[in-house]
Chains A and B, each alone.
Chain A
Amino acid sequence: MSHLTPLQMSMYADNALPADEAHTVVAHLDTCETCRILLSAYQSETQYLAGAMHNDDPDLAELVIPEFSRPASLRGFAMVNLATGLVIWAAQFLWKTIFGELIVNAADWLTSIYLPDIYAVASSTALYFIEEGTAMFDAYLGFIVVSLLMITALSIVLARYRARTTAGLFVLVATLGAVTMPAPVSALEIRRDKNNVTIAASETINDTLIVAAETISIEGTVTGDVIAAGATIDVSGSVGGNLFTFAETVNVRGEVGGLALGAASSYNLNAATVGGDLWAAGESLRVDSDSRVSRNATLAGQKTVIEGSVSSDVTAFSESVEVSGNIGQDLEAFAGRVRLLGDAHVIGDLRFRSADEDRLFRSDNARVDGEVEFMGTPEEFREQNPYATVQFYLWQIARLIAAFLVGVVLFWLVPGLRSLTIGAGIDGLKSAGIGFLTIVSVPIMAVLVAITLIGLPFSFIAVVGLLTGVYLAKIIVAGVIGRMLFAEGTRPVLSLLVGISIVIVAVNLPFIGGIVSFLLTIIGLGLLVQYLFGLISNRGAVA
């Protein structure tokens, strides 16, 4: 009979033969002396091999154990992002609230509530914040730089144990960033004075100008934006960017390249040209006959007078609206009284909401090329039920098809997304939290990065990326939902279609649809961010 093969020997010595084969071997060993001796040699060999390998290597004893670098990964990144986001958000919130909404809203109230002192309050608040705000702004910009550096440093730490090339790349990028980033403060010029600040006619400021004083007079040229607060502001020079003014009296006589936004007791354009929109709130607002607004005008005031021309729409919230100039498109007035005087010419429609139709006065020469529509007070206005229109359903079907096609392409291009799941409990919350963080922090970061002009392309990329992410988020969640309903991996296309249909129905539910949509978006975005982040760190591990 034939002897055992070396493979049988070896495997038997390692106790690795299947039971039936082991029986055959045992039977043969009983009768074969040669094989028995050979087998015992194999067994000794295996034992010796294992023993030798377990012999402690002398250099292992001297091994220096490096510090364990705790995985900074997602959590660390998220924490830094969260902290950055919160601080910037707080700063931004104050800034926006005080300058934007609070003052404009306060002025808005004036159409209904008459508070003569509000402009004084507003301008002194603005003054205070401009004074405190310059320090805040400095700190703020410093903060962006520091936080960017922190994120970079963190990335380096993260990458350090993954791959040296990645770390090298990070250092390179950080260095390049530090070198190319302009000192942020150089993009701003700040002037403060208790009494008055004058930018002389011969002077040119190539930056954004922030100015606060009792009396401000800008006779020269500012190529950037102007943010001004004071009691009296007079702009007779030219402003290349946007003009933001907060004062008791604002007179604009020069040229504004961008948007003019202001709140003042009295806001006047005298032979002024505004390249962008005009947003003004005040007791008395006036666009004189030699002034021209190249885009829309939105005016909220006790008394609004338009003698000059506005190229696009005019929206006025006012007790009294008087128009004797030209309006390029529609005039919409929420007013106690609308008067078209002299040669007033409205090229588009005139819509006015008022208590009574006879509150509209038209002079003999006044013309309205479009329709004149009286809309009554908003109370009579009934919102149309969106679910009762055909367009609604057509639009939803278009949405479904678009999302479905995008989804098919997305999951085909990035197969890794197919395996995402919304973990139960904490994991789901984590995804939602990360998504929320992204949705909040990216725009803020984008705005801040855009302040340094060199950051503009980055912030543009970031915003486009975020918008894409927000769009894809619901598709990703739809994919997950679809997979939850179908057995894993079966009918991927159909499961996506079903998932998207469910999502579209869910986000259109009355009352809760908005919340559902928001939740799905942040969860999907969180999953996407986690996925992308995982991809980056895995790539680091492979290199």
Chain B
Amino acid sequence: MAKNTAFEILYREYYVRVFGLCRRLLNSSDLAQDATQEVFMRVYKSFGKYDAEQPFWQWIATFANNHCIDLLRQRSRADALFGDETIEMEDIAAVDVPVVNDLIALQDAEAMNEAISTLPDKYRVPVVLAYFNQLSYDEVATQLDISRNHVGVLLLRAKQSLRTALTAVDGGSL
């Protein structure tokens, strides 16, 4: 019983965060809702194995990451969800300060989130893990089962796409 009550409290407390994370990873509210239930289901089953040393959010986020990435992998129906590192490396052009500053200059968090949600899975997932979930590159690499450098390339690519998307929106609105 004690377990149930404690779990109920944690469920209420963390539901929104887990949902938010799943939604960012899966890019769909419907899928995120199902995924959140499944994540809590798994958390519930493994509740006894929780190590109090670890921050609870970190522990629960691992479940969410694992589950969502599994779902994405199933969806992509291919092992190479995150593409090939060397192909991704091609055509990375050097950029100037003003271009990098474009993103910040916009100062529009909503547009930024909108742009993130339009990123393909292979860029969005590392961005969510690294900047939203604040995992280190190594942790992201383990989670996605790719190399650390590959993570770096994907994040770099993601940021480039975001700049392009946001400046295009910005330019259009002017």
Contacts and interface: CB of A to CB of B under 8 A. Distances in A.
A14 interface: yes
B152 A16 contact: yes
B45 interface: yes
Nearest to A46: B131
Contacts of A55: 109-110, 113
A170 interface: no
A419 B167 CA distance: 52
A53 B113 contact: yes
A53 to B, nearest CB: 4
Contact of B159 (A10, A37, A53, A162): A10
Given A46-B131, A55-B113, A16 B41 contact: no
A41 interface: yes
Q: Is the contact region of chain B dominated by helix, strand, or loop, or is it mixed?
A: helix
B37 A66 contact: yes
Contacts of B159: 10, 45, 49
A54 B132 contact: yes
A177 interface: no
Contacts of A70: 4, 44
A49 B127 contact: yes
A390 interface: no
Interface stretch (A1-9, A116-124, A237-245, A439-447): A1-9
Contacts of B144: none
Interface in B39-97: 40-41, 44-45, 74, 89, 92-97
B113 A57 contact: yes
Q: How large is the interface on A (under 10, 10 to 19, 20 to 34, 35 or more residues)?
A: 35 or more
Given A44-B104, A55-B113, A71 B131 contact: no
Interface in B16-39: 16, 19-20, 24, 33-34, 37-38
Interface in A53-75: 53-55, 57, 60-61, 63, 65-66, 68-71, 73
Contact of A541 (B19, B38, B100, B131): B38
B16 A65 contact: yes
Please classify how large the interface on chain B is, using the bins under 10, 10 to 19, 20 to 34, 35 or more. Answer: 35 or more
Given A57-B20, A60-B16, A60-B19, A6 B113 contact: no
Contacts, number: 113
Nearest to A47: B104
A183 B9 CA distance: 47
B136 interface: yes
B8 interface: yes
B65 to A, nearest CB: 15
B132 A42 contact: no
Given A6-B95, A45-B100, A71-B44, A16 B127 contact: no
A542 interface: yes
B5 to A, nearest CB: 12
Interface in A71-108: 71, 73
B155 A14 contact: yes
Contacts of B162: 49
Given A16-B136, A49-B127, A10 B44 contact: no
Contacts of A61: 16
A448 interface: no
B131 A7 contact: no
B100 A16 contact: no
A73 B24 CA distance: 28
B132 A63 contact: no
A406 interface: no
A161 B16 contact: no
Contact of B94 (A6, A11, A14): A6
Contact of A45 (B20, B103, B109): B103
Nearest to A53: B132
A46 B130 CA distance: 10
A52 B152 contact: no
Contact of B131 (A3, A5, A49): A49
Contacts of B92: 5-7
B153 interface: yes
Contacts of A66: 33, 37
Contacts of B24: 53
Contacts of A37: 97
Contacts of B74: 542
A41 to B, nearest CB: 4
A65 B131 contact: no
Residue with the greatest number of chain B CB neighbours at <10 A, chosen from A10, A52, A73: A52
A41 B100 contact: yes
21 contacts: A5-B94, A6-B93, A7-B156, A11-B137, A16-B137, A16-B151, A46-B131, A48-B103, A49-B131, A49-B162, A50-B134, A55-B113, A60-B16, A60-B19, A63-B16, A65-B16, A66-B37, A68-B44, A71-B41, A161-B37, A161-B38
Interface of A: 3, 5-7, 10-11, 14, 16, 37-38, 41-42, 44-46, 48-55, 57, 60-61, 63, 65-66, 68-71, 73, 161-162, 541-542
Given A6-B94, A49-B159, A53-B127, 6 more contacts: A6-B92, A11-B156, A38-B95, A41-B97, A52-B109, A61-B16
